[in-house]
């Protein structure tokens, strides 16, 4: 069992975060919360890297479609007009495709963030997936307002500044996928590690 301070999570600053000049701001918020950046790199992803990052299983893809269907129902939008179908199993793959295009549209910044409950704390600092719902004070709530209502009309993914792992298992998987066995950089943070 590792020391709880060594929990790691995977974070990627998405194209809109990079293009809005938020690289420093995102890192600042993690460091301010006593989390430690132990690996960091800007890079242009390949199609396959992004394709393998997002799950391909039916359950995950259909969940993406389900979220969209519920937004359309809530606002009374016309699914047939935008997607040509009401079948969430067909809508999910369409959104996944938009997501791949979006993620390849500019360089990304990937990092491993380490610290106590880093997975949950980073999700909390990020805020809800859909920026218009994200609380003020979170990264998404302070710097974005996008929603599926607009994104789906424009046939693109919801732009929400960062990606961060949802569970420690997902974090391990994503860290391996993006950093391989590359070693992280360990150091002692003043006031945190000593």
Residues that bind ligand GDP (CB under 6 A): 64, 67-68, 71, 95, 98-99, 129, 148, 151-152, 157-158, 160, 163, 166
The residue among 4 and 84 lying less far from ligand GDP, judged by its C-beta, is 84
The residue among 95 and 111 lying less far from ligand GDP, judged by its C-beta, is 95
The residue among 114 and 138 lying less far from ligand GDP, judged by its C-beta, is 138
The residue among 51 and 166 lying less far from ligand GDP, judged by its C-beta, is 166
Active site residues per annotation: 163
Could you report how far apart the first and last alpha carbons of the chain are, in Å? Answer: 21
CB of 152 to ligand GDP, least distance (A): 5
CB of 165 to ligand GDP, least distance (A): 8
Q: What radius of gyration, in Å, describes the C-alpha atoms of the chain?
A: 17
DSSP code per residue over 41-71: EEE---HHHHHHHS--SHHHHHHHHHHHHHH
Return the structure tokens found at 95: 């959104």
- 81 Cβ partners below 8 Å, 6+ apart? none
Closest CA to 113 of 104, 100, 99, 124: 124
d(CA 86, CA 123): 31
CB of 16 to ligand GDP, least distance (A): 9
**Strands (DSSP E) along the chain, which ranges?**
8-13, 36-43, 108-114, 162-164
CB of 3 to ligand GDP, least distance (A): 27
């Amino acid at each position: 069992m590792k020391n709880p301070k060594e929990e790691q999570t995977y974070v990627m600053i998405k194209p809109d975060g990079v293009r809005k000049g938020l690289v420093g701001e995102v890192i600042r918020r993690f460091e301010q919360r006593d989390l430690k950046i132990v690996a960091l790199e800007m890079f242009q992803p390949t199609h396959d890297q992004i394709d393998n990052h997002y799950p391909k299983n039916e359950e995950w893809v259909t969940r993406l479609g389900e979220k969209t269907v519920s937004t359309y129902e809530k606002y009374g939008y016309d699914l047939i007009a935008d997607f040509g179908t009401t079948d969430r199993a067909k809508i999910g793959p369409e959104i996944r495709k938009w997501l791949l295009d979006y993620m390849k549209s500019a360089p990304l910044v990937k990092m491993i963030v380490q610290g106590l409950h880093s997975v949950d704390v980073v999700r909390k600092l990020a805020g809800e997936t859909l920026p218009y719902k994200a609380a003020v004070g979170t990264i998404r709530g302070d710097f974005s307002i996008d929603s599926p209502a607009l994104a789906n009309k424009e046939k693109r993914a919801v732009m929400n500044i960062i990606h961060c792992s949802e569970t420690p298992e997902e974090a391990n998987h994503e860290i391996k996928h993006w950093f391989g066995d590359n070693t992280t950089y360990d150091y002692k943070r003043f006031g945190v590690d000593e």
